[in-house]
Amino acid sequence: MRLIYNNLADIATITPSITSSGSTSNLQNNRKSSVHRAGNNVTYTLTWPTTHIINSVALPATNLVAGSTIAVKLYATTSSGTAHTQQAAISAALDRNPIMPGNVTTLDYTHFSIGGATKTSIWFPTITTQTTQKVEIILTNGSSIDCSRIVCGKYWEPKRDVSRGITLGIQDTSETSRTRTGDTYINTTYITESMNFELKYFLDDDRKQLLDIFRTWGTNQYVYISVFPDNTNTEMTRSYSIYGRSSDISLTYDVDKIYSSSLNIESW
């Protein structure tokens, strides 16, 4: 499991290679329906006044589908011509071929609230200590690209992995009513996701870090979690990733400075 909590994209200057509509400030808020729209190819360049350790990039809501690609390059300075770390183009939405109500297959931001958003992420090794001042995110798609959020930063990874029994939930808030004549009407509203899992038998260092994160970030701010962060199996990574906040966290002292925790995450 890997978790991004301090989203450095929020303090970056973001420059797109092309803009069809929308501001890049839309990439720095948590309004899923406010997006930056580009052509079917775009490079987002993120820069900072100072350097940071960055080993992960995530896009919690885009309209990327099967055939789309993502690549990421990290540069030591804003003037560097060669990336110190990079991920070559890989599938951004492996096996993602959604069909929305009405037989709609070309997605845009209007589908994000009803299950049409795609999650995409790139993860570099934890041992990355090289500091970064510029990040390039290169996307390709078969149609215009709608991107609602950029998340990047240094992730936390516990020494022990998530226990078996991960629960994914889908909450559909649509309302169904029936008239006296028996007609049924459905008021379609938003769909959200949830994820519940346990971390078992971790030690004191992980306990301190976990508590620090969720005391200050995870209950009132959004975090990005991937249970299976893998750049080679992007479908599995996407399915078991969530951008949201902790609705409940508990910590159990098992025995002799060995702990367990249960996390419930509700998506944005």
Instruction: Please state the φ and ψ torsions of residue 113, each to the nearest 5 degrees.
Output: -80, -10
Q: What is the pLDDT of residue 213?
A: 87
Sign of CA dihedral 74, 76, 77, 81: negative
Rounded CA-CA distance 91/150 in Å is 18
Report strand pairing: 191-202 vs 167-172: antiparallel
pLDDT digits (tens, 9 = 90+) for 24-77: 999 999 999 999 999 999 999 999 999 999 999 999 999 999 999 999 999 999
pLDDT digits (tens, 9 = 90+) for 162-204: 888 899 999 999 899 989 898 999 888 899 999 999 888 888 8
Q: Which residues of the chain are in CATH 2.60.120.260 domains?
A: 2-155
What is the arithmetic mean of pLDDT over 86-95?
Answer: 94
C-alpha distances in Å from residue 84, one per residue of 75, 164, 187 = 6, 36, 51
pLDDT tier at 145 (50, 70, 90 boundaries)?
very high
pLDDT at residue 246 greater than cutoff 80: yes
pLDDT tier at 218 (50, 70, 90 boundaries)?
low
- H or E element at residue 233: none
pLDDT tier at 89 (50, 70, 90 boundaries)?
very high
Q: What is the pLDDT of residue 150?
A: 98
3-state class (DSSP) for residue 73:
strand
Rounded CA-CA distance 73/83 in Å is 6
Q: What is the pLDDT of residue 225?
A: 95
C-alpha distances in Å from residue 34, one per residue of 10, 25, 30, 149, 169 = 15, 9, 8, 9, 25
pLDDT digits (tens, 9 = 90+) for 99-136: 888 898 899 999 999 999 999 999 998 766 799 999 99
pLDDT digits (tens, 9 = 90+) for 193-208: 999 998 888 888 898 8
Q: What is the pLDDT of residue 255?
A: 84
What is the arithmetic mean of pLDDT over 134-158?
Answer: 96
Rounded CA-CA distance 16/11 in Å is 16
* CATH level 2 (architecture), domain 2-155: Sandwich (2.60)
